[in-house]
Amino acid sequence: MLVQICCSVDSHYFLRKLKEIYPGVRIIGYFYDPNIHPYSEFLLRYDDVKRSAKTLGIEVILGDYELDEWFRFVRGLENEPEKGERCQKCFDFRMEKTAILAKKLGENSITTTLLMSPKKSHAQLQKSLSEICARFNLDFVAPDFRKNGGSKAQFDLAKKDNLYHQNYCGCIYAMKMQNKASLEFELMSAINHQIWPNSPEDRVLFYRNLRTLEEQKVKFRLQKDSFINYRLLRGLVKFDEKAIKSYFLFNSHFERNLVKFGINYECDEFVKNEIRVFSFDKFKELSKLNFKSFDELLKKPLSVNEELNLREKICQKGSFSPIIIVEKIVPAKVKIEAFSKIYLDVREILVTF
């Protein structure tokens, strides 16, 4: 039996139940989630699925990350509600790929762990499995393990085994309908590869650390933590209408999207109201780091924690005043175009004992 897997929270319980009901049947997992993005989030879910399946002795095959193909398949259904026509098309898309792989592997039946998700329609999934399997001459099973306390048992097991419980279930269209802006912000990644708080890359590192503690038999618990998060969505500095290279320290928040002022002399530090501009030489002096060039800083920035520590030297702890580094500060008419967000967010933290 080939089992399409969506995430570890659903598969962890579902696969156990399948093994109980079909003790003599070979079960192979197929992680195929082309609708999940960004790619780092996709890989994080796959890593957790592999770990979960390993405890059951179940092999998991990694499917191709076919995001563009999935977008084309559901085009025109972006505004459909959850359990609407887009979901049906998405199930058809994934079940067809599962059926193709099953035939290639010589398996004669398929199913999906999506059947475990309380946010998915069992009837839609059963319809998709039935129609796809009829086309490919395959059998299917569509058990409803959510009944009789199954959903509670599923989540209790996931919590007990410290599984990665993602903040959004499916695609970006369903996520947007949750009307929670922080979800969209946390999916953003820095183009300079800096790891932002509560980003997919940050969660990858968090769960790697968690697994290391498990291997070392260190006692810990997961705990929710509220904090003020930040995203710079746009940042541009112009001297005399010409865009220049610039670097915005983390937590540089702007109340206005456009700021204008003049600099009348060459200097290493300039302050205008709450905005602080430093030359690259002054930045190196403050940070005590020996970057060879400004381009090196742009390509290989400090970590967020290092930037926050530097910010604390310049301002007080918890400051959101804009701090901008440029190569040189020269006399010019300055224009700063910036769009940033600060928002209440929730993340997981590890408490050891």
Give the pLDDT score at 181.
63
Q: Is 6 annotated as a binding residue?
A: yes
Q: Is 171 annotated as a binding residue?
A: no
pLDDT of 13-49, one tens digit each?
999 999 999 999 999 999 999 999 888 889 999 999 9
pLDDT of 65-87, one tens digit each?
999 999 999 999 999 988 999 99
pLDDT higher than 70, residue 90: yes
Residue 179 pLDDT grade (very low, low, confident, very high; cuts 50, 70, 90): low
Q: Give the whole-angstrom CA distance, residue 52 versus residue 162.
A: 10
Domains along the sequence of the chain with CATH: 2-178 (3.40.50.620), 227-352 (no CATH)
Q: Is 267 annotated as a binding residue?
A: no
pLDDT higher than 80, residue 232: yes
**Cα torsion for 286, 289, 291, 297, to the nearest 10°?**
-70
Residue 125 pLDDT grade (very low, low, confident, very high; cuts 50, 70, 90): very high
Q: Is 87 annotated as a binding residue?
A: yes
Q: Give the whole-angstrom CA distance, residue 82 versus residue 88.
A: 10
| Contact in structure between 195 and 347 (CB atoms under 8 Å) | no
- Chain position carrying tokens 């079940």: 95
